Chains A and B, each alone.
Chain A
Amino acid sequence: MSREPTALARIASDFAESRVALAGLVLLALVLLAAVLAPLASPQNPYDLAQLDLLDSRLPPGSKSATGMTYWLGTDDQGRDMLSGILYGLRISIGVGVASTLCALAIGLALGLAAGYVGGRTDTLIMRLADLQLSFPSILIALVLLALLGRGLDKIVVALVAVQWAYYARTVRSSALVERRKEYIEAAAGLALSHARIVLRHLLPNCLPPLIVVAAVQLASAIALEATLSFLGLGLPITEPSLGLLIANGYNYLLSGKYWISVFPGVALLLAIASINLVADQLRDVLNPRLQR
């Protein structure tokens, strides 16, 4: 345990080597802060119809409302302040992404550990299932699932979990297979510890580092996939407008030159995804023992 801080410090200093990655980390912190603080930070509650004025619809960025408020990013077709809509949308997009990533992580971790530790027929069954799932593009699986399940926050999380779990299961299984043969597991088995204890207290912690990178990458792709599905009209319902839905809404006005309705939510989506990818990219290099300089 005494070596833990030095390992963390090494990771931190390796991470800080890339200024781009540091910028990504700062950006990610800002994006998360904006998502968490959306109700406090936004100038308007975009779902409170009493605060909306239809006369203010489709105003360009920088316009003033009748009450003297400035719409810094313009308004949409219902007179909603885009900045507020984006902050709330970011909250929903990131919430869906994080929730589905955590669920998929838990399921993938459990199945991957079972496959790696138990082996045999359990392993074959789980891995065949993962192979079958990974041989089809995620968007196709999610699209078909949503067509079956219908719209809704819970349904999109189910669809995202269904396309993500296999990545975790595969990663965990391959580290579990390596770790299982190491001496500390043999020692634990020699002490006649229960299987549950060996798996949860000894095997699990040592399988986690590679998962962190996979989880970061998957979080970014979950957010992008949710936005895509919502854009296609199969994701979240209108009552829970994520960034994808805001962009789809602006699509109708793009050709008439009212760019702000879909450009700004897109920029917010891009910032969220790019910052996560930048951090994940550097984490992969830092945590990869093959690239030790």
Chain B
Amino acid sequence: MLVYVIRRLLQSVLVLGVMSLIVFAGVYAIGNPVDIFISPQADQAEIARATAALGLDRPLWEQYWVFLRQAAAGDLGKSFAFNVPAIQLVLERMPATLELAASAMLIAVLLGIPLGLWAGLKPRSTAGRTIMAGSILGFSLPTFWVGLMLIMVFSVWLGWLPASGRGPTTLLLGVPVSFLSADGLAHLALPATNLALFKLALVIRLTRAGTREALLQDYVKFARAKGLTEARVVFVHVLKNILIPIVTVMGLELGSVIAFAIVTETVFAWPGMGKLLIESINVLDRPVIVAYLCIVVALFVFINLAVDLAYSLLDPRVRLADAAA
């Protein structure tokens, strides 16, 4: 197990290194930031001074070397637009995004598993078919458009919920969060629902497929033959077995929720990392783009690692296969 963990850690470090190179080389190719930050009337000397101040006059490999050395020390450069460390800018926005992502996942799992169980137990019933049709809709509706519709219905027409922003935040262990106050919760409701819909559809389908397959298995027949109540068969025998794939997929999907938060944050003006990324792309604020990508890639690598390890802890079959290999 220890060897496995060490091997996975080394792999993760390698992925991080490769990604940093790709990200740096790629971002270097985006336009010339000096053109954007300096006034159009500036003369040649001023442009040269600005280029030198940003370190853009040195050769590419030297810039990468400086970038790597500083990155190792936790410094990803200063934002061209805000003149503060880029990593600080991204980290400041991270709690907002993580709160949104976690709320969305919670909604998806808490609603998705019961609905999926129902659809799996009664696939031919009207309710089962409705749930499945709804899940196709959840897959088909583009996130940003659902966001607009939510704003239109709940903010413009009904006036129940705020359309944008994060509302007041409360400090929880030094981290600002919205969900502790009623107003903050009202601000969280629409974006979290919006972000949850796609994952909700996914959980429903996973649960339904798993339930349908599990119902045909011998252990379920045996549990029924023992005369166990239907509730015990469903909630203990079936649910326990289908939870393994759901936990894995949800863990892996956490990364994509963080990525899709870019869209939701833009629609709802939620002050998270994703909105910052779009703003930075628009003004070619390279250090912030690089810092965002580095942090998100590190987050993904960490999540994948955690899911892999959790999986081998949850499922004894994987552990055995690993030991045999």
Contacts and interface: CB of A to CB of B under 8 A. Distances in A.
B30 A277 contact: no
Contacts of B137: 274
A277 B282 contact: no
B140 A254 contact: no
A37 interface: no
Interface string A235-270: 000000000100100110011010100110010011
Grouping DSSP codes into helix (H, G, I), strand (E, B) and loop, the B interface class, with mixed when no group exceeds half, is: helix
Interface in B119-156: 133, 136-137, 139-145, 148-149, 151-152, 155-156
A144 B281 CA distance: 9
Contacts of B141: 270, 273
Interface string A262-293: 11001001100110011001000000000000
Q: How many B residues touch the partner, as a band?
A: 35 or more
B42 interface: no
B309 to A, nearest CB: 16
A224 B281 contact: no
B97 to A, nearest CB: 13
Secondary structure type dominating chain A contacts: helix
A105 to B, nearest CB: 21
Interface stretch (A72-80, A130-138, A185-193): A130-138
Interface string A22-35: 00000000000000
B72 interface: no
Nearest to B301: A135
A277 B133 CA distance: 11
Interface residues of A, number: 37
B27 A148 contact: yes
B142 A224 contact: yes
Contact of B148 (A147, A247, A273): A247
A273 B142 contact: yes
A257 B149 CA distance: 12
B145 A232 contact: no
A92 interface: no
A227 B30 CA distance: 23
A95 B233 CA distance: 50
Given A148-B27, A263-B149, A273-B140, 9 more contacts: A148-B30, A255-B151, A266-B142, A269-B142, A269-B145, A270-B145, A274-B137, A274-B140, A277-B140
Interface of A: 20, 132, 135-137, 139-140, 143-144, 147-148, 220, 224, 227-228, 231-234, 244, 247, 250-251, 254-255, 257, 259, 262-263, 266, 269-270, 273-274, 277-278, 281
Interface of B: 15, 23, 26-27, 29-30, 133, 136-137, 139-145, 148-149, 151-152, 155-156, 163, 255-256, 259-260, 262-263, 266-267, 277-278, 281-282, 289, 293, 296-297, 300, 304
* Nearest 4 pairs of A and B residues by beta carbon: A137-B259, A137-B256, A274-B140, A266-B145
21 contacts: A20-B133, A132-B15, A137-B256, A139-B262, A143-B281, A144-B26, A147-B30, A148-B27, A220-B139, A224-B140, A227-B145, A228-B144, A232-B262, A233-B282, A257-B156, A259-B156, A263-B152, A273-B140, A274-B136, A277-B136, A277-B139
